[in-house]
Amino acid sequence: MSRYNAKTVEAKWQAVWAEQRSFEVEANLTLPKYYVLEMFPYPSGRIHIGHVRNYTMGDVVARYKKAQGFNVLHPMGWDAFGLPAENAARDKGVHPADWTYANIAHMRDELKAMGLSLDWSKEIATCHPGYYGHQQKLFLDFFEKGLVYRKESWVNWDPVDMTVLANEQVIDGKGWRSGAVVEKRKLDQWMFRISDYSEDLLDSLEKLDRWPDRVRLMQQNWIGRSQGARISFEIIGEDKPLEIYTTRPDTLFGASFMAVSADHPLTQRLAKDNPAIKDFVAECHRMGTSEEAIEKAEKKGVDTGLEVAHPFIPGKTLPVYVANFVLMDYGTGAIFGCPAHDQRDLDFARKYGLEVTPVVAPDNADPEIGDTAYTGPGKIINSDFLNGMEVEAAKAEIIRRLEEMGKGTAKINYRLRDWGLSRQRYWGCPIPMIHCVKCGTMPEREENLPVKLPDDVTFDKPGNPLDHHPTWKHVKCPGCGGDATRETDTMDTFVDSSWYFARFCSPRADQPVEREKVDYWLPVDQYIGGIEHAILHLLYSRFYSRAMKVTGWSDIDEPFAGLFTQGMVTHETYRSEKGEWLLPEEVGHNDAGDLVELISGKPVTIGGIEKMSKSKKNVVDPGAIIDKFGADAARWYVLSDSPPDRDMEWTDAGATGAWRFVQRLHRFILEHIEAACPVHAPEPEEFPEAAKNLRKSAHKTVAKVTENIENLHFNNAIARIYEFMNALGDFKSDGTEGAKWALREGMEIIVNLVAPMMPHLAEELWQMLGHDTILVETRWPQAIKALTVEDKVTMAVQVKGKLRATIEVALDEQAKIVEEIALAQKSVQNAIGENTIRKIIVVPNRIVNVVI
């Protein structure tokens, strides 16, 4: 018998779909639309299992929705700007564009081999001027509406390579290539005013009811709305007060010091003639720019010698410190320290011998403070007029008093900062601005868009190639026509991915988007991607859709109506003797069974199981899997083994099981087609008992699989299909018309249910079943309700919560009768023994619990 040949069959159906343009769609107001989108990939060179998982999930949804009669938009593109292309240019001497387009070509072939229902006619790449030119247009529109501005902000500076480093390029405070200690440096940078939308971005999370709760929670915490107070402290001997922000004004009587940021104007002024402060500020600037680095550093400070007056305790003064844990970007860049009720303040106070006065007493607990600050609720003590109040009441009262005195006010603060989009790199979208000595910073004229990247660049010098290009930046000012220079910074690649979903609606339009198209297709109905994008990418995209509304490009606030965050695909990490990351295929076992580097035979260290990432090289090439077992088996495997929202560790064993199922289903249809009735035969009047049961099983499966796919529980859908396959295998036909008909029905149903996951095999089987239509144009099966309900149920009988028997009763049987049957069981009687029955709980159709 011929075995199923995945390779030829898959190629055959891919050709058919391409020829029939099965997945190319146009906006059509007479049809209900459904927009399925998976996060587009970075063209790193080859697809990895994470992509296979992500795109298979999206494909199942897309094919399922199409079978449900929706007009489905399912596009694909490339997040093609970014650092790795420049690294390749430096390391291998390849031009970033050549490297990127070669990678795209290879990965496109790989994706096509997966048989995804993508509309390839809508493919876009963000590094193409046809894309980024429109991004520049959007930037200019945003600039005109005041959504973009320029501000000095901090970057990681490598003093040896004379270049700006990304956070991931800073390892233990040192540059990854030079090894030099990284400094913070201030540069003029372009910013988006995302913080203007803090409140809206926060409040609108409520409406995103098809987003995972955890993502909404993460965004909520990220935006970080806090209700607090601004308080001004009089600095002794100074005219201007010190403004602070606090979320705990109720602890003001426990204040023992003030702390200001190293970047606070007061600090900068004092540093001029105080070497100790100057040195300390310099030390702070040697810390990285990441919040993690700042939080993990030892809490340190330096006394400025200044003192402030306590607003409520006459004669009491507090010393002012410059401290490394106070952020200039948050609040006012200055705080009061209340060590008893804030851990950082406590660490700091212990280090510098500052006083620790508890002012909140937890109920029935000793307010003695050791090494742990008390941050819980309680009653206020040691605080004059606040004594005896609960924390919340005390906050309100002290703000009222401060307002009376004109020394403070209630203030809502957000943690969310404006989005710095400037990057000092070549391989990104040029910022279309021009600096003129006379006119200042001017937007480029629209007719000059796109501002294209120059091709002739070199990466042999440190710094930004655009900056040392001989001619590119020298232009005439669009205002006065005089000599001027182009902005040489390019945009953060998050900008590219903040509107690509809108561009897909009209990917070849000569403006960023066409209104009718985005009005029809947006928002994305189901967006699928990694949880690692839970905050930044999704938040930036939400901001972008608001900004595009302000500039008239669309009318939606929220770009993604439904979001699904798939778990990451993880894999062990490997390092060579020298500490370099190694790909799994570079690693193997030697004769002695030790893990070694295959080329050199040198030992390999196994690291943790971590998210697959380019930088750690712990990636698996799925090409080999597809080559060996076919795309259908690979798709089936990534869906079957783990719940889609959880992390999945790649193992080779699972793929074999999927492959076996492909064979089993194919063989079953092949061997049983003769035993089934002809295609489109009319339904007979009578069914033998076994056929009735098969039909019940089939229709229950349809109902469950439909529900599972709706909820994206693909692993459960597959388990149900396996169960039905087992039922089909167990079916004994008696040769009657009813049996033949039920067998065909079962076979057709399983082929339909399997189709979104294994589309090639399903098409092939559909044809074998005698159909001359193709499955991608076939409607999803409907479960017959009457066949999905049973008239009998099995109920569990517990005595004192322990299972003692199971009983079979009629569906929705009266509680009294159920009790009788339950108590009649011998094992139940044994368990009850001499005890008296106190109560019997009957949960209909589920369980009986006899309480003794």
Q: According to CB under 7 A, which residues from 683 to 742 bind RNA?
A: 713, 715-716, 718-719, 722-723, 726, 729-730
Of the pair 30, 364, the CB lying nearest RNA is at 364
Among 278, 684, 806, 819, binds RNA (CB under 7 A): 806
Closest separation between CB of residue 66 and RNA, Å?
26
Contacts within 8 Å (CB) and 24+ apart, 761-764: 761/4, 761/6, 761/9, 761/632, 761/662, 761/665, 761/666, 763/13, 763/16, 764/4, 764/9, 764/12, 764/13, 764/666
User: Does 796 help bind RNA (rule: CB under 7 A)?
Assistant: yes
Among 123, 647, 707, 737, binds RNA (CB under 7 A): 647
Helix (H, G, I), strand (E, B) or coil at 122: helix
Whose CA is closest to 4, among 635, 637, 660?
660
Closest separation between CB of residue 194 and RNA, Å?
8
Among 409, 656, 814, 829, binds RNA (CB under 7 A): 656
Among 396, 802, 810, 811, binds RNA (CB under 7 A): 802
User: Does 782 help bind RNA (rule: CB under 7 A)?
Assistant: no
Between strands 257-260 and 317-323, the pairing is parallel
User: Does 536 help bind RNA (rule: CB under 7 A)?
Assistant: yes
Among 188, 203, 585, 649, binds RNA (CB under 7 A): 649
How many CA atoms lie within 13 Å of 607's alpha carbon, on the beta-carbon side?
A: 19
Among 129, 173, 479, 657, binds RNA (CB under 7 A): 657
d(CA 573, CA 588): 13
- CA–chain centroid gap for 565, Å, is 6
Q: Render 188-200 in DSSP notation, one character per residue.
A: EEEEE-GGGGHHH
Closest separation between CB of residue 417 and RNA, Å?
4
d(CA 806, CA 827): 10
Between strands 526-530 and 33-38, the pairing is parallel
The two structure tokens encoding residue 20: 């029939």
Of the pair 191, 277, the CB lying nearest RNA is at 191
Cross-strand partners of 319: 307
User: Does 641 help bind RNA (rule: CB under 7 A)?
Assistant: yes
Choices 270-278, 392-400, 737-745, 796-804; region in contact with RNA by CB under 7 A:
796-804
In what helix (H) or strand (E) does residue 539 lie, and over which residues does it extend?
A: helix 536-550
Of the pair 680, 792, the CB lying nearest RNA is at 792
User: Does 135 help bind RNA (rule: CB under 7 A)?
Assistant: no
User: Does 393 help bind RNA (rule: CB under 7 A)?
Assistant: no
How many CA atoms lie within 13 Å of 119's alpha carbon, on the beta-carbon side?
A: 21
Among 307, 444, 492, 745, binds RNA (CB under 7 A): 492
- Between residue 407 and residue 466, which ones bind RNA under the rule CB under 7 A? 415-417, 419-420, 422-424
Of the pair 437, 609, the CB lying nearest RNA is at 609
- Between residue 166 and residue 185, which ones bind RNA under the rule CB under 7 A? 166-169
Q: Are 418 and 151 in contact (CB under 8 A)?
A: yes
User: Does 82 help bind RNA (rule: CB under 7 A)?
Assistant: yes
Of the pair 16, 852, the CB lying nearest RNA is at 852
- Between residue 267 and residue 296, which ones bind RNA under the rule CB under 7 A? 289-292, 295-296
Binding track, positions 817-836, relative to RNA; x by CB under 7 A: ----------x--xx-----
Indicate the DSSP class of residue 562.
B
How many CA atoms lie within 13 Å of 124's alpha carbon, on the beta-carbon side?
A: 28
Those residues whose C-beta lies under 8 Å from the C-beta of residue 229, and which sit 6 or more positions away, are 245, 246, 249, 395, 398, 399, 402, 408, 409, 410, 411
User: Does 545 help bind RNA (rule: CB under 7 A)?
Assistant: no
* 781 φψ region: left (φ > 0), alpha (ψ -120 to 50), beta (else): beta
Binding track, positions 200-239, relative to RNA; x by CB under 7 A: -------------xx--xx--xx-x---------------
User: Does 383 help bind RNA (rule: CB under 7 A)?
Assistant: no
- Between residue 94 and residue 123, which ones bind RNA under the rule CB under 7 A? none
The two structure tokens encoding residue 631: 């795309």
Closest separation between CB of residue 671 and RNA, Å?
10
Q: What is each CA distance from 453 to 355, 490, 554, in whole angstroms?
A: 59, 10, 28
User: In which residue are the tokens 């000793």 written?
Assistant: 366
Binding track, positions 559-598, relative to RNA; x by CB under 7 A: ---------x-x----------------------------
Choices 128-136, 230-238, 756-764, 838-846; region in contact with RNA by CB under 7 A:
838-846
Of the pair 39, 676, the CB lying nearest RNA is at 39
User: Does 478 help bind RNA (rule: CB under 7 A)?
Assistant: no
Cross-strand partners of 301: 323
Among 155, 398, 547, 639, binds RNA (CB under 7 A): 155
User: Does 632 help bind RNA (rule: CB under 7 A)?
Assistant: no
User: Does 164 help bind RNA (rule: CB under 7 A)?
Assistant: yes
Those residues whose C-beta lies under 8 Å from the C-beta of residue 152, and which sit 6 or more positions away, are 186, 187, 188, 189
